Amino acid sequence: MVSYKRLNPEDVQFSNAVLSGEPAPVPEEVTVREPEECERPLLPWRPSCSITKGLLVLGCMLLLLCGVWLLGTMFWLHRPSNEKPHRPPQPAPPRTLDSQGQTGVDHNATASDFKPCTSIPEAWRFDCYPERGVVVTRELCEARNCCFIPAAPLPPSGRNGVPWCFYSPEFPSYSLVSINDTSLGQKGRLVREVKTYYPGDILTLELEIRHETETRLRVRITDPSNSRFEVPITVPNATKKAESPAYTVELSKEPFGLLVKRTSTGAVLLNTSVAPLFYADQFLQLSSSLPSRFIYGLGEHRSSFLHDVHWNTLTMWARDVPPMELTNLYGAHPFYLAMEEGGIAHGFFLLNSNAMDVALQPAPAITWRTIGGVLDFYVFLGPDPGSVIEQYLEVIGHPAMPVYWALGYHLCRWGYGTSNATWDVVKSMRSYRIPQDAQWNDIDYMERFLDFTFDPASFATLPDLVRDLHAHDQRYVMILDPGISSMQTAGSYWPYDEGLRRDVFIDDFQGNTLIGKVWPGLTAYPDFSDHVTHEWWYDNLKRFHEKVPFDGLWIDMNEPSNFLDGSTEGCPSNNLENPPYTPGILGGLLRAKTLCATAQHKTSLHYNMHSLYGLMEAKASASALKRLVGKRAFVISRSTFPSQGMYSGHWLGDNRSQWKDLYTSIAGILTFNLLGIPLVGADICGFSEEPQEELCVRWTQLGAFYPFTRNHNTIDMQPQDPTAFSPDARTAIKQALLLRYSLFPLLYTLFHHAHVHGHTVARPLMFEFPKDTRTYGIDKQFLWGKSLLVTPVLDPGVDYVVGYFPEGLWYDYYTGDSVWSKGEELRLKAPLDKINLHLREGTVIPTQRPNITLWVSSGQPLHLVSALSADGSASGDLFWDDGETIDTYETTQYAYIVFNIVQNVMTSQVLQSHLEATYITVESASFYGVKEEPSRVLVNSQDAAFTYRTNQQVLTVADLGLNLSQNFTISWM
């Protein structure tokens, strides 16, 4: 019927004897036939070239022609198929190869297993025609050899629905024709006999399965004949195969499928046999079932924390656009965390930077569609959500330990207008004694928006302002955009002239400097993939730092953004600019408001490098700052990619002064903590639109618990710094910021664990309570670490808030009042000057007397707050160093203290000592949940004064004067 040889399972010989249990014969090489005198057919049931030739010879014999056609059709309809259908994951493939190479046969599989199109459940219909802007007709669909069934009703505008055109059970895919054991796992060869409807099919692929660790599996599907672009970030290089992995791998041969199961439960984590595999030059597609509908990550998008799997397509291609739903935003993060039965979790990471769609459907299932690179993916076995993130960060890199002042309050706006106006706000903050650690400026500080300049008229006093900030233990952060003006007179603008001389700019497809347009007008774009550019960037920063001694960098517009589509010269018309498939990016074109896809970096084409631009600029900026100031770098970036946390933090972009934006910011900070960028926050009070006083108070209360806290607004809007509001509002804002500063020891310790262990800082409730499914969708509350529950007000005009409390004992942070929850929602009082905080039982947190800068606060005495569990136990810890030296953990220049409470005795144990800890004393300690008033309290075996509040069951011991660097005990009886 067709002009290619279909391989039956019995026809394939494998080179390792384990597969058959017999000595291995010399393997017969299986070759893929190339097209001969005519093109290989696209659809398997079309007549082959030899039949066509015969029909042409007998073309005049119409009756015979019809007879041949009818006979062929009847034969095709009744022939048994040797392909296994792509179906939901429960049935096993007819024949599989497990991770040990053992084969098994499903003797029950028969031709009757192949169901017609109508029997495929809607939830399991995988889209065969995902192109946007096309009205898919029956003719278009069937031309792709797919099923066509119109589904009703139509989805809401802008959303996807049940695909009308979907893959049939017999749609051809790859076959696994050989498999061999390797030192890390297995290698195999995949062959496609039938071309797809996308050009450039790669008909032979190499499959590599690496059992890298007990909880990490890596799978690579590549072109063995030609090298393809791969993401240039450093990942671990495993050297030996995991001995007792928490997963098993099974392979189906025809069609090829990969099945990954959790060994302990048998849960299917990955099953690629649910839909055909595509691997063309510019279209790679992999589908899999999901074990549940609970899936998180997949940034950057504005959505709820828990993704909707109801026909939801998430596009990844970095884009400058204010946060909005159903749109690709500033960064690209092809990683998800998924929950399984019983609170177990796993993760999946596709190491690919090309434009892609990630389609979720209610089966539940997921489809990855990318237009370049390779399929290189990891599966992380957890088994709990926190462990999944730790394992993910072992691959992409742990976040940097922030400089201490990064965790203070930052103030910025676009539109101060002058350095003196900026300075006035700083002075006003000081006069009201409102905490502030850093003052920022937006692009209005520059001369004509030129990087590495400041306006000599309106910002003439900027150097003096920065010196004044330093004199008050405060810091200065400035914005930089990557676009370098190309319009200045030759010899008058060193950054551009020197950039041309060193050849640091991205070129267009003809090899000339690509020119776009942003704030300064026509601009060139540095190629941060080249080390020469890093040196040029450092030199520019050094020259400017000598004039304005800035402390941190805010790198914006680095998607990269362009006010044009492509360049001033346009872009060529070819398959890179207009690929066969374009994911659902805003604007519909890869070059929309960015550079041409054909633009040339030193490493590769912009087609491949686009979403990496922010990461590469952050890497260059962090490196330069460390060299300039000799301390930890502070960089905040808009565009991000996996491993970004090693170099920068992130803010959630140009949000609006709306209550909805207040709410969605929580999902944003939780998602980026999953993605390895814990230093994250949203613009407090909102960036655009006029600020509202009540909203700004509530936003500051929530923002005080963002890991990164900054108030920022746009030009021509009313001021929204804390001093701009009424006395009551100003007081409430000040209280919220002082509260944050008092919790600095806890926050700093959480960042230490993020840096060293890959923990989250702002943490979803489901991470600590994974067996409580009611926590899976919560994104109106969150935790700091495991201990502090934050329940903000997110609605206007209310003096209460409803929060969910997982089962257990919780204490009001302010009073020590306890509540036992069986896993329920509680209504909490929330006047305008209060954000609700609760301590989880069994925790000890260090706090500090706050001041208006963290430099001063961090030297104040400690107050320990302990929340006892029902059995009277609790634990906590504290990491302490000088706050700014690079790599203090790696060089053991730090102190680390653990606190434990058992049977009415608190012990403080110094596990790592350092000079910095000797400067700090423990002034007082409170114990929540002491059921009876003690008759006696001992501190280091000496009697001590104490107070006890009977109603709250709170014991407080003051005036301790204990040195943090020495072990101590506090006991009561």
**CB-side neighbour CA atoms (13 Å) of 110:** 2
Of 559, 721, 884, 916, the catalytic one is 559
Q: How far apart are CA 487 and CA 660, in angstroms?
A: 41
- 864 forms beta bridges with 846, 925
Q: How far apart are CA 591 and CA 786, in angstroms?
A: 44
How many other C-beta atoms can be found within 10 angstroms of the C-beta atom of residue 34?
A: 7
Is the bond into 560 cis (omega within 30 degrees of 0)? yes
Which residues, at least 6 apart from 492, have a Cβ–Cβ distance to it below 8 Å? Answer: none
**CA of residue 86 relative to chain centroid, distance:** 30
Residue 916 catalytic?
A: no
Closest CA to 567 of 481, 486, 500, 495: 486
What's the 3-state SS for 218-243? EEEEECCCCCCCCCCCCCCCCCCCCC
Give the SS3 label for residue 700: helix
Q: For residue 186, give both structure tokens.
A: 């297995």
DSSP assignment of 182-232: -SSEEEEEEEE-S--SSSSB--EEEEEEEEEETTEEEEEEE-SSS------
Q: Is the dihedral of CA 212, 214, 216, 220 positive or negative?
A: positive
Q: How far apart are CA 290 and CA 365, in angstroms?
A: 5
Q: How far apart are CA 909 and CA 911, in angstroms?
A: 6
Rg, Å, the chain Cα set: 31
Question: Quick check: 968 and 941 in contact, CB under 8 A?
Answer: no
How many other C-beta atoms can be found within 10 angstroms of the C-beta atom of residue 950?
A: 8
DSSP assignment of 416-478: --SHHHHHHHHHHHHHTT----EEEE-GGGSSTT-TT---TTTTTTHHHHHHHHHHTT-EEEE
Of 254, 357, 437, 556, the catalytic one is 556
Residue 559 catalytic?
A: yes
Phi, psi for residue 751 in degrees, rounded to 5: -65, -35
Q: Is the dihedral of CA 408, 778, 342, 218 positive or negative?
A: negative
- Expressed in angstroms, the distance from the first to the final Cα of the chain is 90
Please, what's the largest Cα pairwise distance for the chain? 115
Query: What is the residue whose two structure tokens read 């004039």?
Result: 547
Q: How far apart are CA 22 and CA 923, in angstroms?
A: 75
**CB-side neighbour CA atoms (13 Å) of 698:** 27
Q: How far apart are CA 729 and CA 692, in angstroms?
A: 11
Distances (CA, A) of 660 to 97, 357, 667, 699, 824: 50, 26, 12, 11, 25
Closest CA to 680 of 710, 708, 645, 647: 708
Q: How far apart are CA 404 and CA 135, in angstroms?
A: 55
Is the bond into 153 cis (omega within 30 degrees of 0)? yes
**Which amino acids are annotated catalytic?**
556, 559
